[in-house]
Structure formats: structure tokens, C-alpha cells
Amino acid sequence: MTNSTVNNKKDITPVVSKVGYGAFVLLTIYFLATNQIMSAASNLGIALIFDPFNQQQKWNDRPLYQRVWLLIHVALVFGLFIYGYLVK
């Protein structure tokens, strides 16, 4: 494999991250609709692994809306786990 072949490969990480994030959020919605709270909480937590934003940026370098979105996402995960544990 030559140097030019290695340099021509596309980085598909952003696409995979967005698809993975969307898939797990959709699974969360499905589990919420079928009243499976703990499954919804775990899938929403797994969705965080697939950060839909630029993963190369450090936390402090990210725009405010991205940080707020991710913090709300984490709060929803904790809220669903607490609700699922205490209520169900």
C-alpha cells in the first residue's frame, strides 16, 4: 500500500457517529412508547457514546449549544434511570 492510497481514504467517523446517535435515540423513543423505561434509559445513555458533534474538539472549545445539549442529554439519562428505579 502506497502513501497516496492511505491519504485518499475518507474519514467516515462523523457519519457513523450521527447514524449511531440517531439509531439509539430512536430506540429510546420506541422503548418509551412501549413503557420500557429502563431500556429507554440505557439506550439513551449508549447514544452518548456516539457524540453527534465534532469529537475532535475539547469540551471548552465546543459551542455553548453543544455543551448544553449534551448536559441535557445526560440529565435525561439520569432522570429516566431514577424514574425507572423508583416508580417502576
Note whether 18 and 50 are within 8 A (CB).
yes
Helix-strand-coil split of the chain, %, nearest 5: 70, 0, 30
| The pLDDT value given to residue 9 | 77
| The pLDDT value given to residue 51 | 86
The structural domains of the chain, with segments of one domain joined by +, span 12-86
- Whether the per-residue pLDDT at 3 is higher than 70: the answer is no
Query: The cell 449511531 sits on which residue?
Result: 20
Q: Which residues of 3-16 are buried (b: 16+ CB within 10 A; e: fewer)?
A: eeeeeeeeeeeeee
| The pLDDT value given to residue 6 | 57
- Whether the per-residue pLDDT at 5 is higher than 70: the answer is no
Q: Which tens digit of pLDDT belongs to each residue from 20-49?
A: 999 999 999 999 999 999 999 999 999 999
Q: Which tens digit of pLDDT belongs to each residue from 36-88?
A: 999 999 999 999 999 888 888 898 999 999 999 999 999 999 999 999 999 86
